[in-house]
Amino acid sequence: MKFLRDKIDQIKKPFGKGEKFEKFAPAINALDTFLYVPNHTTHKGAHIRDAVDLKRTMITVILALVPALIFGMYNAGLQHFSQIEGSDMTFMPLFLFGLWKILPMIIVSYGVGLAIEFVFAIYRGHEVNEGYLVTGLLIPMIMPIDLPLWMLALSVVFAVVIGKEAFGGTGMNILNPALVARAFAFFAYPTFMSGDKVWVADATTVDGISGETILGKLAAGKEVGYNTMDMFGGYIPGSVAETSTLWILVGAAILIITGVASWRIIVSGFIGAAIMALGFEAWGANALMSFGLNHLVVGGLAFGVVFMATDPVSGAQTNTGKLIYGFLIGVFGILIRVFNPAYPEGIMLAILLLNVFAPTIDHYVIQSNVNRRKKRANVNQLKTA
């Protein structure tokens, strides 16, 4: 091990302080710190530090995404072969088909996004933040499988530059960058992002298949054709990895047990959506309304609530605020679904909307603490007066 360390130190030498390539140090450090936790020690403040760092936190999120991603790859194959070729196959070939389709998307997303991150880190002279490791995986997971790679790349550029770096980089952005990418693609290339031809791989090559999402069918007044268990399991068309509520909940369990994501947002998000769905079911004016609690297992709701709404940077930051924020995401998600027949998937817009309002929610939560403090001071003055 000593040999490897020495080798790296030797490679890093020209990037040291006062050396030729000092400016590019953030780039080489980002690579080095993936191999080794650096030898930095405490100087001020507490002399010892917790083992956790941002890398560990972000990698935990990626671990939580893996079950949904693997199922998404399998489901890509399943949808393709069952709808287009009409053949039955075992898990492995279906998974490999999906892998072959989805891996390039992940590579493009990471390649483009990390390149921009490195450039900004060098330009600003700070270390590369790990946030994009999660964003870069989320983006392909919420796109339709047949989205051309150059569109994906463009969405990534927009998300990272306009959605994140323009605000000052990691920790400063207002909107969830992954959702910014999806929103960009959705409004820039609507024909590739909705309809009945985009959700099943290679569907455009065949006429007359029903490759719509459940919500698309409901909005168009068609039969759903799947039972609740199929929808919960995720054996339905949809974006790459958002179909399986089951595997998303496994991810949610990982996030909640490790404490990486706020259980408050996840739980209150599902509660908000459930209350709204039940309310509309009682109203029952159309198929989307009568869908009831099935709303919770279709579309991007589960994925959005578990992996998108819980982004700590763009979400609410206070504990009370998180409960309100999550709840409203659930409520607005279903509301937009039901009242917007042109675009029945509302969770993306609901999260982006609440991202914007999260600071306002926090403001009022914190203000109550401020008021309590002021009141205490006033009562005290009265007593002494």
Partner 1 sequence: MSKDIRIKKGLDLKLKGDAEKVVSVVSRSKVYAINPSDFNGVTPKMVVKEGAKVKAGEIIFYSKNDESVKFVSPVSGTIQEIKRGEKRVILQILITADSQDIHLEHSKKNLKDLSSQEVKEQLLASGCWPFINQRPYDVIANSADTPKAIFVSAYASAPLTADVDFVLENKTEAFQAGIDALAKLTSGKVHLSLKGKEKSALENISGVSIHKVFGPHPAGNVGVQISKIDPINAGDRVWTVAPQDVATIGEFFLTGKFNATKTIALSGSEVKDAQYYTLISGAQISDLVAGKIKGDNVRIISGDIFTGNKVTQNGFLGFYSNTVTVIPEGNEYRMFGWMPFASPSIHSAQRTGLSWLMPGKKYAPNTNLNGEERALVVTGEMENVMPLDIYPMQLLKACIANDIDKMENLGIYEVAPEDFALIDYTNTSKLEAQVIIRKALNLMIKEVG
Interface with partner 1 by CB under 8 A: which residues?
1, 5, 29, 33-57, 59-60, 63, 127, 129-131, 169-172, 257-260, 262, 312-313, 315, 317-319, 322, 366, 369-370, 372-374, 376-377, 380
Nearest-approach distance from CB 57 to partner 1, in angstroms:
6
Query: In whole angstroms, what separates CA 375 from the centre of its chain?
Result: 41
Residue whose CB is less far from partner 1, 161 or 274 = 161
Backbone angles phi and psi of 172, in degrees to 5: -115, -15
CA dihedral angle for residue 277, residue 281, residue 284, residue 290, rounded to 10 degrees? 80
Residue whose CB is less far from partner 1, 8 or 153 = 8
> Are 65 and 137 within 8 A, CB to CB?
yes
Q: What is the largest CA-CA distance in the chain?
A: 86
What CA–CA distance (Å, rounded) separates 251 from 272?
20
Which two tokens mark 168? 């000052």
Nearest-approach distance from CB 296 to partner 1, in angstroms:
25
Nearest-approach distance from CB 361 to partner 1, in angstroms:
13
Residue whose CB is less far from partner 1, 115 or 257 = 257
Residue whose CB is less far from partner 1, 201 or 308 = 308
Residue 383 buriedness (CB in 10 A; 0-12 / 13-18 / 19+): exposed
Residue whose CB is less far from partner 1, 56 or 222 = 56
Nearest-approach distance from CB 50 to partner 1, in angstroms:
5
Q: From the CB of residue 309, how many other CB atoms can be counted at a distance below 10 Å?
A: 32
Nearest-approach distance from CB 385 to partner 1, in angstroms:
13
Residue whose CB is less far from partner 1, 155 or 318 = 318
> Are 112 and 147 within 8 A, CB to CB?
no
Nearest-approach distance from CB 44 to partner 1, in angstroms:
5
Nearest-approach distance from CB 301 to partner 1, in angstroms:
23
Which two tokens mark 304? 């959005």
Long-range CB pairs of 258-262, under 8 A, 24+ apart, other chains included: 258/60, 260/57, 260/60, 260/61, 260/64, 261/61, 261/64, 261/306, 261/307, 261/310, 262/310, 262/312, 262/315, 262/322, 262/326
What interhelical angle do 177-188 and 347-384 show, nearest 10? 140
Residue whose CB is less far from partner 1, 164 or 337 = 164
Nearest to 74 by CA among 100, 53, 94, 52: 94
Residue whose CB is less far from partner 1, 25 or 78 = 25
Nearest-approach distance from CB 194 to partner 1, in angstroms:
32
